[in-house]
């Protein structure tokens, strides 16, 4: 079996899982045959009280995954199961609202994600009206103040009355999370929530995300291109490349023993000022646009280890270790006795990774 | 020590608007020597881009240089007229913008734009105009065939390289870069930085590199300048700044980066937000956010103090002598 | 991957000028007073509205009463002289204001509403709806206005209602394109996707989330359109396609033409209504410019000043 059983939560049922999730976009006119393969055959699992990072660069498909999970558009193929109910078969407004009330989304651009005409309380209040109809007006007001307090926007009463232009980027992003919290979410889809913020402010938001998991019991799907911040908050990492999941597993395991050559490349390229030297590579960093591809591994043109098989057979995710999978024909799984051996040809800087 | 290539003296830039004068750059001094790579680091609102534009004489109203000099190879650029500037621009110094899509004409081919640039700056022979574009593309690792491509046909990384190629048309002595890698993926970013460094070693030009991301320049710069609220907070050798940051802001900035390798530790970031430059805090502009704030920081504006080879604007080091400007 | 717009915690550097969307009436008034074009335009419009509402206050004479000397030049009794039939020209201009203004405002308002509905729906719903609505818009855009106006007006029974219908039909299309473009650019804004992900219905999104953010554009469309409608209405009436029994500046022009004003040397009769049309058009245009400037700081005139020395 290509999927490790231990990726599913202890009680056996995942919060959300996708099976063969695929999304293609037609390029050119109505009759064109050219399809952009944004996401192909993604099997992803998110458990309760878990932060999963979906890491990938531009063109990897991570944003498309977010939009598929948010029901912004339907998948071309495949299924999304939330609490074992198929999401895209939800038809009635009641069912759709139920899902949206459990799986809200936080957007990337704090300046674009709020309607400039309304006060920042608008989104929170609408969420409360739509998804928690049992509350009366006074209770809604209280709830709005409560979520603003949780995300650190104090004093809540004053903050709720502000307009977006009166707030900074970091504050607006907190409003985004407050909106998500207002519905008592089970799973928050966070699409690059800190990419557009100054570095010194990111820590605050990342710490807040971790506390949301601990205190509010929400799971978070953290979508990002920054693998370092993924390491900081996420329990598990899924690395995407050109629409495929190429590696997944517990964060520290994937980062310390990356099996897929792309993961290794990515890790080596992340600049770390505390390091002495930069590992060099001939790779110039051109991710592919996947238009009507055939079979075969999509990384093969950039891969230093590619063999003939890579051009003809698309590698599937296979176990490399406990709960750790990679989709690569040449990757070598960890031997059972625990002594790691990995495909390691790039001069990756010495890894002193021990978990604190 | 030979004369610096570029010397900025007491440069101040303000945005003159109806309601307020906002001083975006406040009496900044810096110097760049031949062949040197100077990184300028700061977050949004610190004035680094304004500083860059001021040095390159690219400011437009309501931004204005209100005082100071920008001495490049002995000439004060601030005093030059447009026609005099044209002789200096692109030949002696050039600029690489943040986003290639903002700087390149989407309707024209790369080759045509290179030729236009060469013609605009005169004194380029017809032969040079014919051959140089292909040469510079080769330098940055782009196939000559792309001379006929228009910008949107190239990937993000290639576009940025094309921008750098354009900046090298006349092999200037100073190339000013405004966050050229921020729109690029990590792998493309590393590749571009390596390329820039190689070119620098090959041709000997100096680089002034503005960025909000300290880690990008960590392995490439000779010296680093940290800016905060329009002022120089700290400036010194790269290794000093990264290994022994003196200013609490520099320390906070370095600590705000989660690391991929090395042990996991809690991230703190820097509480609060950069000040409104229309109403900067009294005394030290960083004091409301400083973890090492002292009583005098609220009332006294710190000068730049010299601690070994690093200049730092912080009262913690007031015992050291003041750095001589420039 | 995100582009490089990194934001900070600080409020944006732009001094906070009251934008049309957020300002209260007080701040709106302040913005108008600070902009010279807005002040001038507003004064013109206020004056014209006053004249339209209370014509009797300014011109005592009955405009239609043909009791004075014919083709008289300007004098203290007749500020702009008299017509061929002996009517007071000044009175006519003043009393003609009301209907002129009503027609202009009604046409602009209806055309703006139509263009808003069509433009925004096309932009937001997209797909086949967008294509069909855009095609419809393009058809109306391509047909040359004046000939269409003339053809329609000559087939329909003459009168104010016809004029309104005809003018509305020929003027909604331009604004529809503009509003569609704005709608398209808004579509990329995350707050609309956010509204969808919240679970809002499409109708709610169009009415509550999109249209309020476009109020400034809608008002600007209205004003810009008015400039042209004033002229086109007068033009139609000048050609005799309006209801010549009603008194407007356009019908004055018609009668001046018919009455041989210029041949008789009575320039004032011919020019006064035209000048009034231009005056009203200018009023709308000035306020329109000012609207753009208030809303978009990049368009404001840049005044070179010496920096004030700060303490």
The CA dihedral of C238, C244, C246, C250, to the nearest 10 degrees, is 0
Would you call the peptide bond into A155 cis, given omega within 30 degrees of 0 as the criterion?
yes
Residues present in chain C in total: 311
What is the structure's pLDDT at C236?
83
The confidence band for A1, taking pLDDT boundaries of 50, 70 and 90, is very low
Q: Shortest CA distance to C34 belongs to which of B19, B22, B14?
A: B19
What is the structure's pLDDT at A251?
94
Q: What is the mean pLDDT of chain A?
A: 85
> Which residue has tokens 């000779």?
B222
What is the structure's pLDDT at A335?
74
Shortest CA distance from A276: residue in chain B: B219
Interface partners of B (3+ CB pairs, < 8 Å)? A, C
Give Cα separations from A232 to A226, B265, C279 (angstroms): 10, 8, 66
A247-286 residues touching B, CB cutoff 8 A? 252, 255, 265-267, 269-275, 277-278, 280-281, 283-286
Q: What are residue C228's phi and psi, to 5 degrees? A: -75, -35
Between CA B214 and CA B181 the distance in angstroms is 12
Number of helical (H) and strand (E) elements in chain A, helices listed first:
11, 13
- Chain C residues touching residue B23 (CB < 8 angstroms): 310
Q: Summarize pLDDT for B117-159 with one digit per residue, the tens.
A: 888 876 678 888 888 888 888 888 888 888 888 888 887 788 8
State how far residue A83 is from chain B, nearest Cα, in angstroms.
Answer: 33
Q: Summarize pLDDT for C280-296 with one digit per residue, the tens.
A: 999 999 888 877 766 66
Give Cα separations from C201 to A92, A95, A125, C133, C220 (angstroms): 13, 14, 16, 21, 28
Between CA C35 and CA C15 the distance in angstroms is 16
- Chain B residues touching residue A349 (CB < 8 angstroms): 261
3-state secondary structure at position C159: coil
What is the structure's pLDDT at C301?
60
Q: What are residue A223's phi and psi, to 5 degrees? A: -100, 125
Residue B46 has pLDDT above 90, yes or no: no
Shortest CA distance from B195: residue in chain A: A284
| Contact state of C308 with B212 under an 8 Å Cβ cutoff | no
Check: CB of residue C241 under 8 Å from CB of residue C154: yes
| β-strand partners of A22 | A77
Least-confidence region, from A8-12, B70-74, B272-276: A8-12
| Contact state of C196 with A72 under an 8 Å Cβ cutoff | yes
Output the CA torsion sign for B99, B100, B103, B106.
negative
Residue A106 has pLDDT above 50, yes or no: yes
Q: What are residue B323's phi and psi, to 5 degrees? A: -70, 135
Q: In angstroms, how far is the first alpha carbon of chain B from the final one?
A: 13
What number of C-beta contacts closer than 8 Å exist between A and C? 102
- Chain B residues touching residue A207 (CB < 8 angstroms): 266-267, 269
Q: Shortest CA distance to C17 belongs to which of C38, C37, C32?
A: C32
B98, B184, B273 member nearest C9 (Cβ): B273
Would you call the peptide bond into B89 cis, given omega within 30 degrees of 0 as the criterion?
no
| β-strand partners of A325 | A248, A319
Shortest CA distance from C35: residue in chain B: B18
Q: What is the mean pLDDT of chain B?
A: 87
3-state secondary structure at position A9: coil
Residue B114 has pLDDT above 50, yes or no: yes
User: Is residue B312 within a helix (H) or strand (E), and if so which, with residue range?
Assistant: strand B310-312
- Chain C residues touching residue B14 (CB < 8 angstroms): 307
The confidence band for C13, taking pLDDT boundaries of 50, 70 and 90, is very low
Enter the DSSP assignment of B308: T
ipTM for the complex shown: 0.83
- Chain C residues touching residue A197 (CB < 8 angstroms): 6-8
Residues present in chain A in total: 356
Neighbours of A1 (CB within 10 A): 6
Output the CA torsion sign for A95, A99, A102, A104.
negative
A58, A199, A265 member nearest B213 (Cβ): A199
State how far residue B22 is from chain A, nearest Cα, in angstroms.
Answer: 18
């Amino acid at each position: 079996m290509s999927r490790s059983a231990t990726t599913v939560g202890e009680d056996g049922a995942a919060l959300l899982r996708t099976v063969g999730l695929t999304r293609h976009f037609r390029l050119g006119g109505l009759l064109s045959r050219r399809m952009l393969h944004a996401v192909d055959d993604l099997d992803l699992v998110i458990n309760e009280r878990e932060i999963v990072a979906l890491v990938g660069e531009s063109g990897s498909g991570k944003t498309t995954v977010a939009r598929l999970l948010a029901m912004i558009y339907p998948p071309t193929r495949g299924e999304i199961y939330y609490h074992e109910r198929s999401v895209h078969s939800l038809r009635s407004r009641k069912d759709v609202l139920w899902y949206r009330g459990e799986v809200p989304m936080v957007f990337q651009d704090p300046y674009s994600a709020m309607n400039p005409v309304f006060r920042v309380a608008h989104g929170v209040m609408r969420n409360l009206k739509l998804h928690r109809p049992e509350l009366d007006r006074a209770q809604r007001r209280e709830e709005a103040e409560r979520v603003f307090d949780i995300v650190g926007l104090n004093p809540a009463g004053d903050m709720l009355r502000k307009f977006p232009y009166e707030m900074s980027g970091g504050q607006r992003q907190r409003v985004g999370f407050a909106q998500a919290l207002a519905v008592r979410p089970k799973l928050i889809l966070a699409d690059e929530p800190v990419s557009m913020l100054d570095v010194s402010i990111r820590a605050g938001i990342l710490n807040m995300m971790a506390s949301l998991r601990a205190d509010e019991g929400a799971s978070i799907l953290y979508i990002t291109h920054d693998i370092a911040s993924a390491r900081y908050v996420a329990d598990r990492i899924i690395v995407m490349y050109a629409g495929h999941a190429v590696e997944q597993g517990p964060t520290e395991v994937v980062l310390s023993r990356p099996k897929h050559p792309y993961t290794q490349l990515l890790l080596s390229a992340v600049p770390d000022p505390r390091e002495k030297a930069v590992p060099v590579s001939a790779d110039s960093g051109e991710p592919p646009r996947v238009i009507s591809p055939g079979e075969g591994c999509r990384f093969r043109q950039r891969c230093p280890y590619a063999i003939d098989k890579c051009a003809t057979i698309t590698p599937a995710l296979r176990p490399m270790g406990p709960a750790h999978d990679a989709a690569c024909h040449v990757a070598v799984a960890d031997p059972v006795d625990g002594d790691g051996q990995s495909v390691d040809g790039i001069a990756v800087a010495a890894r002193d990774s021990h978990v604190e | 020590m030979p004369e610096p290539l570029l010397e900025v003296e007491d440069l101040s830039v303000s945005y003159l608007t109806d309601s307020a004068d906002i001083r975006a750059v406040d009496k900044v001094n810096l110097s760049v020597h031949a062949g040197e790579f100077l990184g300028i680091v700061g977050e949004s609102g610190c004035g680094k881009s304004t500083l860059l534009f001021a040095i390159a004489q690219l400011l437009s109203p309501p931004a204005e240089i209100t005082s100071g000099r920008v001495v490049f190879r002995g000439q004060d650029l601030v005093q030059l007229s447009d026609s005099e500037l044209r002789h200096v621009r692109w030949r002696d110094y050039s600029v690489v913008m943040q986003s290639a899509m903002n700087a390149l004409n989407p309707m024209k081919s790369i080759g045509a734009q290179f030729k236009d640039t060469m013609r605009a700056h005169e004194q380029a022979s017809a032969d040079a105009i014919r051959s140089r574009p292909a040469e510079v593309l080769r330098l940055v690792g782009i196939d000559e065939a792309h001379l006929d491509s228009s910008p949107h046909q190239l990937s993000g990384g290639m576009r940025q390289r094309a921008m750098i190629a354009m900046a090298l048309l006349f092999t200037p002595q100073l190339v000013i870069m405004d966050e050229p890698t921020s729109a690029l993926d990590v792998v493309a970013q590393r590749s571009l930085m390596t390329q820039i460094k190689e070119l620098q070693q090959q041709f000997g030009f100096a680089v002034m590199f503005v960025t909000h991301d300290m880690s990008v320049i960590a392995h490439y710069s000779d010296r680093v300048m940290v800016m905060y609220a329009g002022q120089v907070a700290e400036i010194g050798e790269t290794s000093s700044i990264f290994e022994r940051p003196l200013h609490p802001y520099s320390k906070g900035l370095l600590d705000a980066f989660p690391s991929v390798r090395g042990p996991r530790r809690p991230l703190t970031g820097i509480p609060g937000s950069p000040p409104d430059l229309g109403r900067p805090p009294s005394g030290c502009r960083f004091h409301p956010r400083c973890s090492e704030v002292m009583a005098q920081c609220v009332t006294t504006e710190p000068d730049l103090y010299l601690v070994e080879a690093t200049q730092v604007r912080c009262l913690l080091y007031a015992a050291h002598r003041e750095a001589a400007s420039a | 991957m995100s582009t490089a717009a990194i934001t900070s915690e600080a409020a944006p550097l732009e001094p906070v000028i009251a934008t049309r969307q957020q300002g209260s009436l007080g701040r709106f008034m302040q913005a108008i007073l600070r902009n010279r074009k807005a002040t001038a335009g507003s004064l013109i419009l206020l004056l014209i509205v006053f004249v339209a509402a209370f014509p009797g206050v300014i011109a005592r004479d009955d405009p239609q009463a043909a009791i004075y000397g014919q083709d008289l030049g300007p004098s203290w009794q007749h500020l702009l002289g008299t017509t061929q039939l002996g009517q007071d020209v000044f009175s006519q201009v003043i009393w003609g204001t009301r209907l002129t203004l009503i027609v202009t405002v009604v046409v602009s308002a209806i055309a703006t509403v139509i263009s808003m509905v069509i433009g925004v729906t096309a932009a937001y719903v997209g797909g086949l709806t967008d294509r069909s609505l855009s095609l419809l818009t393009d058809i109306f855009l391509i047909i040359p206005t004046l000939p269409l106006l003339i053809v329609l007006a000559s087939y329909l029974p003459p009168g104010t209602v016809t004029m309104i219908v005809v003018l509305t039909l020929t003027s909604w299309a331009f604004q529809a394109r503009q509003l569609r473009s704005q709608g398209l650019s808004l579509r990329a804004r995350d707050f609309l996707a956010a509204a969808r992900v919240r679970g809002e219905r499409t109708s709610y999104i169009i009415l509550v989330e999109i249209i309020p953010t476009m109020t400034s554009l809608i008002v600007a469309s209205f004003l810009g359109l008015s400039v042209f409608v004033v002229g086109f209405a007068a033009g139609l009436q000048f050609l005799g396609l309006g209801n010549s029994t009603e008194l407007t500046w356009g019908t004055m022009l018609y009668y001046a033409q018919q009455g041989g004003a210029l041949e008789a040397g009575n320039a004032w009769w011919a020019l006064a209504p035209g000048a009034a049309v231009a005056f009203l058009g200018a009023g709308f245009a000035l306020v329109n410019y000012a609207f753009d400037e208030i809303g978009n700081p990049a368009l404001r005139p840049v005044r070179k000043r010496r920096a004030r020395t700060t303490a």
